[in-house]
Structure 1
Amino acid sequence: MPPAGITYRIRVRMSARAIDEPHRAASPLELLFDLTFVAAIAAATAQFAHDIADGHASTGLVPFLLVFFAIWWAWMNFTWFASSYDTDDVAYRLLTMVQMAGVLVLAAGVPAAADHSDYRAVTLGYLIMRIALVAQWVRAGIEDAARRRTALRYAAGIAALQVGWALRLVLLETGALPPSAGLPLFVGLAVLELSVPLWAERTRATNWHPHHIAERYGLFTIILLGESVLATTRGVGGALEAAATSGPLVVMAVSGLVLLFALWWLYFLTPTGEGLSDRRHRSYRWGYGHYGIFAALAALGAGLEVAAEQTGHDLKASPVAICYAIAIPAAAFVVLLWLVNAPIVARPVPRPAAALGCALVVLLLPLAAPQAGVSAVVAAIAAACVLLVVLSIGPAAARERRSRETAALSE
């Protein structure tokens, strides 16, 4: 017998969930789904860290961004689908498991993609994920008559693009197209992927839940921050293998933690759930803009790993390059956080002047690395982000106080 209050759902008709469903939160299945992405993100971050340490950050950046696009886009598509059509029955769970298997295949192919531009495993994993999602959309189209056309548009658009991805791989592997054509084809197919939701929802929008979506994005942000903590730990471990604990290593480890904590604090200062609820029509800019935010956090983890490792090793990368591997993602995160939240909230956090000022300072600090050292520069970057948090807390607290007063008056 199942425990009290729990039912086993063998088969549930797939229909759109209410957009104002109370207490909507991430399901245990969604949390398990997210965990499979930990492996893929860790593989991409570790590979990018190797490129930075070897002095090949610029050449490793493009493969990193391409692989991360596949990771992010597959995660995002499932997240928005689940927000509208999560039935949590047997068929839904099994198809979700297939998508999770695709993530693991993609993760296994990351080293080959970065080292040899061999995207066979990455493409195969992506195709597995997307085919399972096509099956979910077909089911939604069959069972939800009101949004059948939207669901079938999603299924048709995604399926057609999977043919494009497979064809791209075959043409490159057989030599029918030169290797130089790989990147333009990827960009073209990625643009078409981003266009599918815009085209599909022109008939009728799906019933995604704003607070559920905001929570899901927040949880993925925490996963990426956790990956950065793990990457930093790997770097510290590598440094300790070569030398005893040193002052620069301690400063580096503490500064990395403070920096990540400051970025976490900044991200969760904005009430994005309320913003998405009030301005649903601007959700595309918010959702798509998170590619830059998420990629910046993943790249930051790679930079922190190398910065910690260099305290005990002589690396090919220069101190300035290592510091910029931290400064550029941190500055990008701060600026993108403002740009992404601006369309959905009246007063985004951080404010534009503060965000741009912080980013400028952060981008100038690595120039001092030859004299001050990497650890001192990372500490200064962390201090600049902490100052941005301090400057942002006041307006955020004032806005929250006004919201409570307004709610009290309305009652």
Structure 2
Amino acid sequence: MSTHPISGLTSHRTGRRARGRDIHEQHRTATPLELLFDLSFVVAIALAASQLHHGVMEHHTGRALVGFLIAFWATWWAWMNYTWFASAYDDDSAVFRLLTLLQMVGVLVFATGVPGLFSGDFRVGVLGYVVMRLALVVQWLLAARGDPARRTTCLRYAGGIALVQLGWVARLWLAPEWGWPVFVLLMALEMAVPLWAERAGGTPWHAHHIAERYSLLLIITLGEVVLGATNAVAAMWQTFGWTLNLALVGLGSTALVFALWWMYFLLPSGDALHRHRERSFGWGYGHVAIFVSAAAIGAGLEVVADVLKAGKEAAEQAISATGQAAPVATQAGHATNAAHGVSPLYAITMVALAQAMFMVSLWAIYSRTTRAEAGQGLLTLACAACVALGPLAVWLGAALPWGLLLLSLGPAIAIVYNERGRRHCTEAFAVR
């Protein structure tokens, strides 16, 4: 008899059926397979953020935003469903691994179709999405066979997911006027399946494992912010060389990434979910706003990078017209300078709005999950208001690098308040 290398559950490799993981299992962490699975989603997230960036620069912000939300929702939803299933039923069998591989293939096909989602062509995206979902259906059927106590729950998952996939395929042949109403309906049905299935009995997911898995996806999503920050710094260096503004862009963008990371890990997700499993749906579903906003910040920083590059063109035009060097403010992204018609004010506002969404969403999840009495609501409003300082400074005439640096002020206040509060008033920050 072989056993699971992590938990000791009987493996499918010997013909025995795993009956679900132990929700109190000690030292449960993400497996190497889960980490590999996450890597396949990097491409889809990066393509969605990149398409949003290009859409904004081409003055198609509304359409690009819709495409971005669709692409990110589908990516997140497929990842989330697999993650919760694996937390409950990962037995490390060959069958489980191969079905995970099939879902990874589906992710790559879906990623190939992401650009089409922004132009209204859903064919490739739907193909990849359905491949991911049908592989999960098979996993739920295997879980139903191996876990008689939760057979009804597993069959509800399998049946519900399968039926909705028929809807996604059928939607491809609908008249255009029915496309969006049916899309919203199918999205709602997808998100209703777990709510309906879990009414028949909860699955044995592991609280700390789930918390770790979500934190890993956040780090992957913050990778888009790091990429945007890197491109912004590169734009300044390649255009103007070593300057004070280069230091401000580097400090501001890096501090913003670091502050968002620090803020997220103030949330005691593992302990809260372990003590209150009934709060898992709000916590799990609510994270989509955090992930979306983090990816949007990355796209916004890419727009900032393009605006900074435009400073070189403005400087060269000024030299050609007057024979004199352009002012430093113009070179660094002054409010009157624009890249492809996108002004520095527009760029910094895009980042600020996404950051405010991140902070408010994080507070909402923190409040609902912990029920702590630490005055986080007023703090969040104050910190979100501080986010407006960046766009305000640029609007008043400050160079874009200064506005970028000011965006870190709000998160810094939240971090200091929480870190000091936890040391001096532990009870007020405790999970209730």
Once residues 127 and 241 of structure 1 are traced to their aligned partners in structure 2, the CA distance between those partners, rounded to angstroms, is 43
In structure 1, the residue matched to 2:247 is 250
**CA deviation after TM superposition for structure 1 residue 38, in Å:** 0.6
Amino acid at match of 2:158: A
Equivalent in 282, 289, 292 of residue 292 of structure 1 = 289
Once residues 397 and 193 of structure 1 are traced to their aligned partners in structure 2, the CA distance between those partners, rounded to angstroms, is 42
In structure 2, the residue matched to 1:354 is 379
Equivalent in 25, 38, 47 of residue 51 of structure 2 = 47
Query: Given that residues 253 and 308 in structure 1 are in contact (C-alpha distance below 8 angstroms), is that contact kept between their aligned partners in structure 2?
Result: no
Quickly say closer, same or farther: Cα 1:63–1:359, change in 2 above 3 A: same
In structure 1, the residue matched to 2:136 is 133
**CA deviation after TM superposition for structure 1 residue 392, in Å:** 1.9
Aligned pairs, number: 394
TM-score, structure 1 length as denominator?
Answer: 0.90
TM-score, structure 2 length as denominator?
Answer: 0.86
1:179-224 per-residue CA deviation (whole Å, 9 max, x = no partner) reads: x433222211111111000101111110111111111111111111
Once residues 331 and 39 of structure 1 are traced to their aligned partners in structure 2, the CA distance between those partners, rounded to angstroms, is 25
Moved more, 73-82 or 221-230: 221-230
Once residues 171 and 232 of structure 2 are traced to their aligned partners in structure 1, the CA distance between those partners, rounded to angstroms, is 37
Amino acid at match of 1:30: E
Equivalent in 27, 34, 57 of residue 38 of structure 2 = 34
Once residues 364 and 159 of structure 2 are traced to their aligned partners in structure 1, the CA distance between those partners, rounded to angstroms, is 32
Other structure's SS at 1:13 match: coil
Query: Given that residues 252 and 375 in structure 1 are in contact (C-alpha distance below 8 angstroms), is that contact kept between their aligned partners in structure 2?
Result: yes
In structure 1, the residue matched to 2:343 is 318
Would you say 1:227 and 2:224 are equivalent positions? yes
In structure 1, the residue matched to 2:100 is 96
Query: Given that residues 252 and 308 in structure 1 are in contact (C-alpha distance below 8 angstroms), is that contact kept between their aligned partners in structure 2?
Result: no
In structure 2, the residue matched to 1:392 is 418
Other structure's SS at 1:16 match: coil
In structure 1, the residue matched to 2:166 is 163
**CA deviation after TM superposition for structure 1 residue 118, in Å:** 1.2
Once residues 272 and 229 of structure 1 are traced to their aligned partners in structure 2, the CA distance between those partners, rounded to angstroms, is 24
Once residues 213 and 398 of structure 2 are traced to their aligned partners in structure 1, the CA distance between those partners, rounded to angstroms, is 40
Query: Given that residues 224 and 299 in structure 2 are in contact (C-alpha distance below 8 angstroms), is that contact kept between their aligned partners in structure 1?
Result: no
**CA deviation after TM superposition for structure 1 residue 50, in Å:** 1.2
Other structure's SS at 1:22 match: coil
Equivalent in 301, 307, 310 of residue 298 of structure 2 = 301
Once residues 213 and 53 of structure 1 are traced to their aligned partners in structure 2, the CA distance between those partners, rounded to angstroms, is 37
Query: Given that residues 259 and 381 in structure 1 are in contact (C-alpha distance below 8 angstroms), is that contact kept between their aligned partners in structure 2?
Result: yes
Once residues 42 and 350 of structure 1 are traced to their aligned partners in structure 2, the CA distance between those partners, rounded to angstroms, is 36
Give % identity.
45
Would you say 1:152 and 2:152 are equivalent positions? no
In structure 2, the residue matched to 1:208 is 205
Amino acid at match of 2:404: V
**CA deviation after TM superposition for structure 1 residue 146, in Å:** 0.8
1:350-377 per-residue CA deviation (whole Å, 9 max, x = no partner) reads: 8111111111221354133231132211
**CA deviation after TM superposition for structure 1 residue 250, in Å:** 3.2
In structure 1, the residue matched to 2:123 is 120
**CA deviation after TM superposition for structure 1 residue 395, in Å:** 1.7
Once residues 49 and 155 of structure 1 are traced to their aligned partners in structure 2, the CA distance between those partners, rounded to angstroms, is 37
Once residues 334 and 125 of structure 1 are traced to their aligned partners in structure 2, the CA distance between those partners, rounded to angstroms, is 32
Quickly say closer, same or farther: Cα 1:242–1:365, change in 2 above 3 A: closer
Other structure's SS at 2:76 match: helix
Query: Given that residues 252 and 307 in structure 1 are in contact (C-alpha distance below 8 angstroms), is that contact kept between their aligned partners in structure 2?
Result: no
Query: Given that residues 44 and 75 in structure 2 are in contact (C-alpha distance below 8 angstroms), is that contact kept between their aligned partners in structure 1?
Result: yes
In structure 2, the residue matched to 1:334 is 359
Quickly say closer, same or farther: Cα 1:45–1:402, change in 2 above 3 A: closer
Moved more, 246-255 or 280-289: 246-255
**CA deviation after TM superposition for structure 1 residue 400, in Å:** 5.3
Amino acid at match of 2:168: W
In structure 2, the residue matched to 1:379 is 405
In structure 1, the residue matched to 2:267 is 270
Query: Given that residues 99 and 130 in structure 1 are in contact (C-alpha distance below 8 angstroms), is that contact kept between their aligned partners in structure 2?
Result: yes
Query: Given that residues 294 and 358 in structure 2 are in contact (C-alpha distance below 8 angstroms), is that contact kept between their aligned partners in structure 1?
Result: yes
Once residues 117 and 132 of structure 1 are traced to their aligned partners in structure 2, the CA distance between those partners, rounded to angstroms, is 26
Aligned residues: CA RMSD = 2.3
In structure 1, the residue matched to 2:86 is 82
**CA deviation after TM superposition for structure 1 residue 170, in Å:** 2.4
Other structure's SS at 1:342 match: helix
Quickly say closer, same or farther: Cα 1:397–1:51, change in 2 above 3 A: farther
Amino acid at match of 2:28: R
Other structure's SS at 2:370 match: coil
Query: Given that residues 255 and 382 in structure 1 are in contact (C-alpha distance below 8 angstroms), is that contact kept between their aligned partners in structure 2?
Result: yes
Unaligned runs of 5+ in 2: 311-337
**CA deviation after TM superposition for structure 1 residue 9, in Å:** 6.8
Quickly say closer, same or farther: Cα 1:253–1:206, change in 2 above 3 A: same
Other structure's SS at 2:408 match: helix
**CA deviation after TM superposition for structure 1 residue 237, in Å:** 3.7
1:221-255 per-residue CA deviation (whole Å, 9 max, x = no partner) reads: 11111221023223444555555454434322321
Q: Which has the larger radius of gyration?
A: 2
Once residues 60 and 287 of structure 2 are traced to their aligned partners in structure 1, the CA distance between those partners, rounded to angstroms, is 26
Once residues 245 and 178 of structure 2 are traced to their aligned partners in structure 1, the CA distance between those partners, rounded to angstroms, is 45
Unaligned runs of 5+ in 1: 172-176, 405-411
Moved more, 227-236 or 387-396: 227-236
Other structure's SS at 1:26 match: coil
Once residues 273 and 287 of structure 2 are traced to their aligned partners in structure 1, the CA distance between those partners, rounded to angstroms, is 14
In structure 2, the residue matched to 1:409 is none
